[in-house]
A = this chain, B = another copy of it.
Amino acid sequence: MTGGVLYVVSGPSGAGKSTVIKRALNKVDGFSFSVSYTTREKRPGEIEGKDYFFVSEEEFHKLKAKGEFLEYAEVHGYYYGTSKTFIKDKLDEGYNIVLDVDVQGSLNIKKEMPHDSVLIFVVPPSYKELQKRLRGRGTENEKDLKKRLEDSKWEIQQMDEFDYLLENNDVPESVNRLVSIIIAEQLRIARIRDGLEEKVDKFFKHDFS
């Protein structure tokens, strides 16, 4: 059986990744969500193993030491980690997965799963536009904003480690482009090479004379 593909979407905050991902996922089939580990407390209604795997900080660091995280991050004092086991199992079952992670995390994933992952770098049209979008959110203070802009300089420089570049000038166009990348990658012969002989056999089956 041919396994699924892990699509890793990244780029500076303010590039508009999450909107593009959400709309693209409405147009394609065969995707699974990723369930991450977190050290934050379970909120009412959240389900263990569905929303997150809830663990203590001690357990998180043990898992980290065991190499269980494809990438992890600390946000507002809590840890979040992408489970390698969960992702690999889903891909083996034939599901595709999209992850929205930071640039450093993407590079780690590429190192861990070079053959199963496809890295997509999303950028706004310009640095000026990036500043505008981040300010427009109004959710961050000037210090956080400055840090994000500062980070984006390094992030942009990592672009050539990625497989695809998606300049997000127009959301519907970006959605079409992401959907195209998703569809095209599933047709790549390098990706289905293991199943190719079987495909050829199947093609000729029963009626090859």
Interface centre among A185, A187, A188, A205 (most CB of B within 10 A): A187
Does more than half of chain A's interface fall in helix, strand or loop, or is it mixed? helix
The answer, among B164, B188, B200, for a CB contact under 8 Å with A189, is B164
State the number of copies, please: 2
Residue of B nearest to A128 (CB): B207
Provide the bound-state CA to CA distance between A187 and B183, in Å: 13
* A18 contacts across to B, CB distance below 8 A: none
A108 at the interface (CB under 8 A from B): no
* A202 contacts across to B, CB distance below 8 A: 126
Chain A positions near chain B (C-beta within 8 angstroms) = 121, 123, 126-128, 131, 153, 156-157, 159-160, 162-166, 176-177, 179-181, 183-185, 187-190, 192-193, 196, 199-200, 202-208
